Amino acid sequence: MKKFLILSVIILGTWMSVGVGAAETVDRSMCVFDPSGAHGDVFKAAQRYQAQALTWGIRLDLKAYTDEVVANSDFKAGKCNMAFLTSLRVRSYVHESGSIEAIGALPSYDLLRKTIEALSNPKVRELNTDGDYETMAMFPGGAVYLLLRDKNLKDIKDLAGRKIATLTYDQAATTMVDIVGASMVPAEIATFAGIFNNGRADACYSPAIGIKPLELMKGISPNGGIVRFPIGQLTFQIVARHKDFAEGYGNTSRAWAATQFDAMLSLTKKAEQEIPAKYWIEVPKDLQKNYFEKFREVRIRLRDKKVYHPTILKLMKRVRCSADKEAVECSDNLE
């Protein structure tokens, strides 16, 4: 009888623990944009997040999209609780974290890492929330580079009068085209590669991870190149409606995501290393200041238009100045 009671208690305890675990686990869904669909590296990153979220009591159903417009629309319509999108899209939900891709603001991966770590601090949660939305994670997607059909156009001033394939919804790029005196060739994610490769544009822009799948080497070869001077930093971010998650979930999620920086960056570095050395165009030191000046002019103009959030611009400036205290910008308050 005693053994029976002990066994009953063990069985009951096990059943109760399973019941509690099931009660604590909540079903949620995430729309994931990856140009390669469910077989791509971004979707694999989403799967790693999915596994981690389960330890936080969230059972995530992942939905793969090869078209970011559709993924964004479904999230906006409430078909997913979360969305894995580019920062360019996230900015319409969370103005602050979406401004991390500001043109020329973070010229190195080390500066990007420091910025993401700063934004992952629980003390600055407000910089990751905007109304009903919260940015739950940020991952590096790679530096965005200028791709040219003619490698002699290494100075930004050389772009005057040239045609640049430009994403119509990318206000930074359209502003930059206007400032340098170039002509915009309207494009979308699905069309810009074809425009560049077919010679309808003299230049376009892309992170290294997009060059191979979009076959952009066709446009670069044989006389073009890639300017090794980051226009900006592409980031992938997970955005969600914070009411769908427990209090504190965002802080936990962002802290974990920050630890995945190197794993995600390794994909970018691999793509960059696969580009033949002869196609990289180094910008001479005396010409780099032209890029810095134009980029800063764009950031200030877009800050004034409320495209970029001023607090994030100041945060990134502090990060830059901590690395180079002698920089001219560190002695003024323009940004």
Confirm whether 27-142+233-273 and 144-231+283-309 share one CATH topology.
yes
On the question of pLDDT at 21 being above 50, the answer is no
Q: Rounded to whole angstroms, how far apart are CA atoms 60 and 63?
A: 10
On the question of pLDDT at 10 being above 80, the answer is no
DSSP state of 282: P
pLDDT tens profile 130-143:
999 999 999 999 99
On the question of pLDDT at 108 being above 70, the answer is yes
Q: Domain residues of the chain, as ranges?
A: 27-142+233-273, 144-231+283-309
Per-residue pLDDT, 153: 87
How many CB atoms sit inside 10 A of residue 255's CB?
14
On the question of pLDDT at 176 being above 60, the answer is yes
Per-residue pLDDT, 286: 85
pLDDT tens profile 48-104:
999 999 999 999 999 999 999 999 999 999 999 999 999 999 999 999 999 999 999
Mean pLDDT over 35-51 rounds to 94
On the question of pLDDT at 264 being above 50, the answer is yes
Mean pLDDT over 11-32 rounds to 60
Q: Rounded to whole angstroms, how far apart are CA atoms 166 and 189?
A: 9
DSSP state of 327: S
310 cis-preceded (ω within 30 degrees of 0)? no
Instruction: Please tell me which residue, 16 or 67, carries the higher pLDDT value.
Output: 67
Query: In 3-state terms, the chain is what percent helix, strand and coil (to 5)?
Result: 50, 20, 25
CATH architecture of 144-231+283-309: 3-Layer(aba) Sandwich (3.40)
Predicted structure pTM score: 0.87
3-state secondary structure of 105: coil
On the question of pLDDT at 202 being above 80, the answer is yes
Check if the beta carbon of residue 157 is closer than 8 Å to that of residue 135: no
Report the amino acid identity of residue 185: V
On the question of pLDDT at 222 being above 70, the answer is yes
Secondary structure (DSSP) of 160-185: TT-EEEEETT-HHHHHHHHHHT-EEE
Mean pLDDT over 225-229 rounds to 94
On the question of pLDDT at 271 being above 50, the answer is yes
- In the predicted model, what is the mean pLDDT of the chain? 90
- Which tokens is 99 given? 């401004």
Check if the beta carbon of residue 201 is closer than 8 Å to that of residue 185: yes
Tell me: domain 27-142+233-273, CATH 3.40.190.170, correct? yes
Mean pLDDT over 108-113 rounds to 97
On the question of pLDDT at 24 being above 70, the answer is yes
Report the amino acid identity of residue 65: Y
